[in-house]
Structures are given as C-alpha cells and as structure tokens.
Amino acid sequence: MKIRLLQTDDAERLLAFESANRGWFEQHVVARSPSFYAADGVAAHIADYLSQHAAGDMHPCVLTSDDGATIIGRANLRRIDRAGGSAEIGYRIARDQARQGLASHAVAYLQEVARSVYGLRILNAWITDQNLGSKRVMDKCGFTRDSLAAPEVVAVHGVERSSHLYQCHL
C-alpha cells in the first residue's frame, strides 16, 4: 500500500473506488450527492480538493495498491488552520480492505504530515457512536473524545446520529 497526494488523473480510479464502496460508506458517513457519482462529478471534486490544497487549506491523499493501479482508500487533512494550529482529518477505506490496519496507517501518516508540513498541534475528527471501527482507530492513534464538545447531529443512511469530537495533540 502507498499513500500519495490526490492527482487530476485519479478521476477514473477514484470514481471506481467511490462507486464500488458507496453502500459501505453510506452506512457510516453522510452520503455524497448523487451527482458526485459521474465522471464530471468526480473531476469537479478533484479540482476542488486540489484548489484547496494549493491554497494550503487541505491535504488530500489516496491510498493505492502497491502497483498504484487501484485506489483502496482516501485520507485527508481538511480545514487546515495554521494560525490556530489545527486541522480536521477524514478517511475512508474500501470495504474489502477493512480491518487490515490501513486506516491506522493513514491516520499516522496524516499526523506526521500535520506536524512536519503544516506545523499543526491539534487534529480533530468527528465520529458517530455507531462507527466502532473508527473509534478503535482513534484510540490506537492517540485521539481522545472531547467530552466537553457538544455533539453534532448528522443524517447517516437516513437516520439521525450523534457525531462526537475526537482530538489528538501532536
């Protein structure tokens, strides 16, 4: 497995990854717009993420097979706030690659990028109560639930769920 920055020429591979895992992802996170699941939707998504990266607001990555032919996951630093020293992380791993340590590896990679590239001190992640796999990843990677932060309510697969803030001090 390799981790690298998202690239414009990832569009076809990214669409295949997102389409193949759509049902799996939508069990755990807020669903993407149906317009995302088309060549022009993914191309616009990539252009937006690369624009945010160029502005220093995001660090979008893909996880690929060793030969680079297949995208098997994504990991992003979002809402990078250098002045405040923080960012939010997010990731998604293909269903057939789950429970192999890829998410933990991706989070550790983002922690290092946050420290060494952006000089950040705090990473935030929002996790729903039902997403036990992500809770385990957060624990393993040194995140703790912020019990003082008010939960956010999100609709996942048509059901309202509480999402809680997890933080890691780098």
* Residue 4, token pair as written in the block: 């690298």
Residue in this structure with the two tokens 């939707």, named with its chain if needed? 41
> Who contacts 80 (Cβ-Cβ below 8 Å, separation ≥6)?
56, 57, 58, 59, 87, 118, 120
Instruction: Yes or no: say if 90 and 52 are a contact pair by the CB < 8 Å rule.
Output: no
Enumerate domains of the chain plus CATH numbers: 2-169 (3.40.630.30)
At 119-148, the pLDDT tens digits run 999 999 998 888 888 999 999 999 999 988
* Residue 132, token pair as written in the block: 């036990």
At 42-86, the pLDDT tens digits run 999 999 999 999 999 999 999 999 998 999 999 999 999 999 999
Mean pLDDT estimate for the chain:
91
The predicted model gives 11-19 an average pLDDT of 93
Q: Which pLDDT score, from 0 to 100, does residue 27 have?
A: 72
- pTM for the whole structure: 0.89
Distance CA 141, CA 107 (A): 7
At 82-102, the pLDDT tens digits run 999 999 999 998 888 888 899
